[in-house]
Amino acid sequence: MTNSEKKKTVNISACVFTLGERKMGSAVERTDEHVREYLIYRGFTGTLKHLDSDMKADKEKGFRVDKIIDQLQLFIQTFDLNGLKDYWGYLDRRLFCRLEDIYRPTVSKLRTSLFRYYVVYTVQLKNIEKTQEFFQRQAQELQGQPEWRDWFILPFMPAPEQNPLFSPYFSRQWSDTFLVSLHNFLSVFFLDCKPPQPVLLSFDSEVQRTTCLQEENDQLRHMIFLQGRLETQNKQEEMVHHKLPPYVQNMDRLGDTEL
């Protein structure tokens, strides 16, 4: 498979999972608005303030994978290593803990790639201070991990992007592949391993189903109306046609002199 074909496959996978997550995310967002509307109607202003505060601090982003990815990238782009570690730790404790043990290596690999993505970003932005800070603060944790053994020389290399050991991680293809892999993993997780759906979300899905059925019924009524109108028009044309003499019906076959 060529690089272009791989890229197309990656993009298609991302699109497929994005449709599912947006459907789930939009249901959560609609339900949030319904709850806010109810609290305003009931005059529960104190509860509403707490709800708005919790929604702003929502780390699960309404189960929207694109927003979770955006939050991770924001921590990286602002060199917020503490925020990045805390946020991934929250996802691990809150979400990934539901996975079977056979999936733990996958979670571990994604975490490793996430921090490599961060380190590479600090080097690309020539922020050597942040590069050194990462290895100083993570040294105790990473020293015992074979996949990080060669990375400790990274801050001291003049051009790591040209080194065969590190050059793949500085390519656009690697970063794109990692982000799509993380995106797809989270999307599958929310489709298969999310917490049991509350009654309110079931109500929202029922409303959406009823709305779709209503739209389909309206379309069918319109089609039946048009079909009936067309049949009526055809009958009227046939009646007019049969009232005319036979020679008039065949006038289109005659030449100019024969008329």
Q: Please, which residues have CB within 8 angstroms of residue 196's CB and are 6 or more apart in sequence?
A: none
Tell me the residue type at 57.
A
**Whole-number pLDDT of residue 255:** 55
What is the rounded distance in angstroms from the CA atom of residue 216 to the CA atom of residue 227? 16
Query: How many other C-beta atoms lie within 10 A of the C-beta of residue 154?
Result: 22
**Model confidence at 23: pLDDT above 60:** no
User: Where does the pLDDT of residue 221 fall: very low under 50, low under 70, confident under 90, or very high at 90 and above?
Assistant: confident
Per-residue pLDDT tens over the stretch 184-217: 999 888 877 666 666 666 665 666 677 777 888 8
**13 vs 47, residue with greater confidence:** 47
DSSP output for 149-200: GGGGGGGG-S-GGGSTTTGGGGSHHHHHHHHHHHHHHHHHHHHHSSPPPPHH
Q: Please, which residues have CB within 8 angstroms of residue 25's CB and are 6 or more apart in sequence?
A: 61, 62, 63, 64, 67
As given in the structure block, the two tokens for residue 249 are: 């019906």
Q: 175 — phi, psi (to 5°)?
A: -65, -40
